[in-house]
Amino acid sequence: MRYIRLGVCICILLFVHNQILMADEATNADSITTEYIRSIYIEKPKCALKLLDVAENKKSMPLRVIDELRSLSYRNLFMNKLAYVYARKSYVLDSVYQKDPEHLLKMTVYLAELSFLMSKYNESMNYALDGIAQSKRLEDRVSEARLLYCIGENNRMLSFKDKAYDYFDSAIDLLKGRKGVKEIGMLSSFYGGKMSYLMTDSLYEDASVMALEREKQIKKLETLPDVPKGLVDMQYGYLYSKWAYNCYMEKKYGQAEKYFAMYQSTEYSRTPDGKMYSIPYLLASKHYKQVIDNSQEFKELMRKQQDTINAQYMNVLEREVQAYMGMGNYKEAAILQGAIIAITDSINNRDKENAALELNTMYDTSEKEDYIAKQAFQLKVRNITLTFLTCITLLTLFVLWRMWRFNHIIRYKNKILAKFINERLARKKDSQSLDIDEQLMISQDIEDESILFGDQEEISDETGKASGEEEENKKIFIELNRIVVQDQLYLSSELSREDLAQLVHLNNARFARMIKECTGTNFNGYINDLRIDYAIKLLKLHPNYTIRAIADEVGFNSTPILYNLFKKKTGMTPYEFKKAQESL
C-alpha cells in the first residue's frame, strides 16, 4: 500500500512540473511572435495553438494573422474542418478591412486547397477562380500557378482528365523561366505531380517527358545558393526511382536499369525513407527479395519511433505481401495480411479519437451541440457499417468478380460493334463524297440520250412512265439529301414531312414514294437514320457530353427515344458506345 501511495505522489509531482513548464513556455513574451509560431507549428502544432490563445488574450497579434496560424496548425494536425473554419475567419476579416491584399490572396489559396481536401470541389473552384483574379491584379505568378494546379486537381477528381492536364500545363507555363528557389522548387513539384498522374493513367511516354523537364529544374536548383542541404539529392532520388519504374512499364529495360543505377548513386537511396521509393520498380522487375529487405529496414525505423499504426506502415506491409505472393510464400503473405487488418482496426479507433477531439474543439469555439450529436451518430453508423462490410466481404468479392467478367464480355462485344460502326460510317462518308453536280450531269446525260433517241422509240407504256418517274425521283432526292445534310435540317425536332415535300414541290403521296424508293424506309426512318449518324459523330468528338445533351443536339425530344433508336441501329446504347469508343 505504501508503494502505491508513493507512485501516486510521484505521478502528481511530474504532472504539476509538466504543467508549470508548459505555462512558462506559453507565457514567455519572446515566444509569442508571428515568426516564432511560424517556425514551430509544423513540429509542435499543439504548442503553437496554446501560444495563439495567449496572443489573442493579450492582443499581441492581429486577429486575422492568429486565425491564419490556427488554420495552419490544425491543418498540420489533419483537422481540415477546423483549419477551414479559421482560414475562412481570416479571409472574412481581410475582405472586410481590405488592408492587406497579399494576405487576402494567401487565405484564398488556403481555402481553395482546404476545400479540395474536404472534397468540396465546386467551392474549391470558386475560391481558386477568385484567387486567380486577385493574383493577376497583384502580379503574383506563384499564387496563380498554385491555384491553377488546384483547379487541375479538382477537374481530375471530377473525371475531366483532359481539362486537368490543361490546367497543370498552364500552372507549369506560368513558372517557366523563373529563377528563385521557391519558384523552381514548385515547378519541379508540378512536373513530378503531373508525371505521377500520367503514370496512373498509363501514359508512360508522356510521363517520361515530364521526368526530363523535372531533371532540368533539379539541375537548376544545384546552381542556386541557399538551397537547403540534401534537397537536390532527395529530388534526384525521388525522380530516378519513379523514372526507372516508368521506363520498365514502357518495356525499356535498359533505360530502366540505367535510371535505377542513378537512383542508387544518390545519398537519399541509402536512407530507409529513400529505399521505399525503389519498391515499385523492384516489384515490377520481380526483385522480391530486395523489396522485403528494404521494407524490413523501414519497418525497423518506424518501430524505433514507436509509430507503426499509420497508413504509411500499412502500405509497407502491403508491398511485402505482394513480394511474398510473387515468391510463392503464401504463408508469410497471410500473416502480413492479418497484421494489415489489425492496423486498419487501430487506425479506425484512432480516427474516432481524432474525430471526437475535433468535434469537442468545434463545440468550444462555435457551440454547435447539434453538430456534435450528428457526428457521433455518423461514427456509430460507420462502426455498424464496417462490421456489416466485414461479414459480407467474401460474398461481395465473388459478386464483383462475376460482374467484372460480365462487363468484360460486354465491353469486348461493344468494342467490336464500335469498330464496325466506325468502318461503316467511313464507307458511307466515302460513298457520299461523290460530287452532287457529277451525279446530276450523269442524270442529265441519261435524259439527253433518251431525247436523242425519242424519234426512234416511242415511250408511252405505263412501265416507261414509272421508270421515268423513278429517275426523276432519284435526281430530286439527291438534291434534297444534299440540302438536308448540308444545312443539317434533320437536327430540328420540328421538321415534318410536309416541310420537305414543299421544299421539293411534291405532293405528300409522291414524296412518300420517293423516300421509300431511294432509302428503303419512310420519312421518319430516313430522318432518324441521319440523326443517329450525327449522334455517333458527337459521341466520338465530344465524349464529355451527356446523353441528354446529345439527344437535344440531334433533334430528339427525349433521351429514351435516342436510346431506343440507337440500340435498334447499332446493337448497343449510346453510353455503351461511348465507353467502347474510349477503349479503341
How distant, in Å, are the alpha carbons of 230, 272, 309, 337 from that of 301?
A: 20, 7, 13, 21
Cα–Cα distance between 560 and 241 in angstroms, integer? Answer: 51
Question: For the packed helices 231-249 and 204-223, what is the interaxial angle rounded to 10 degrees?
Answer: 160
Cα–Cα distance between 191 and 203 in angstroms, integer? Answer: 14
Per residue in 352-407, pLDDT (tens digit) is 555 555 555 555 555 444 554 566 677 778 888 888 888 898 888 888 888 887 77
pLDDT in the model for residue 366: 52
Burial of 277 (0-12, 13-18, 19+ CB in 10 A): buried
CATH class of this structure's domain 477-582: mainly alpha
Greatest mean pLDDT among 8-22, 150-164, 343-357 lies in 150-164
Q: Where are the domains of the chain?
A: 286-387, 477-582
Q: Does residue 27 register a pLDDT over 50?
A: no
Q: Among 159, 127, 131, 163, which residue's Cα sits nearest to residue 145? A: 131
Q: Does residue 254 register a pLDDT over 50?
A: yes
- Counted residue by residue, the chain has a size of 584
pLDDT in the model for residue 455: 42
Average pLDDT over residues 408-430: 68
Average pLDDT over residues 12-21: 52
C-alpha cell at 500: 420537305
Lowest mean pLDDT among 13-27, 45-59, 151-165, 512-526: 13-27
* Amino acid found at 196: S
pLDDT in the model for residue 128: 93
Return the H-helix or E-strand segment holding 557.
Answer: none
pLDDT classification of 7: cutoffs 50, 70, 90: low
Average pLDDT of the chain to the nearest whole number: 79
Percent share of the chain, pLDDT over 70: 78
Cα–Cα distance between 474 and 218 in angstroms, integer? Answer: 70
Q: State if pTM tops 0.85.
A: no
pLDDT classification of 161: cutoffs 50, 70, 90: confident
pLDDT classification of 460: cutoffs 50, 70, 90: very low
pLDDT in the model for residue 356: 53
Q: Among 80, 74, 22, which residue's Cα sits nearest to residue 51? A: 22
On whether the CB atoms of residues 511 and 480 are closer than 8 A, the answer is no
Q: Does residue 174 register a pLDDT over 70?
A: yes
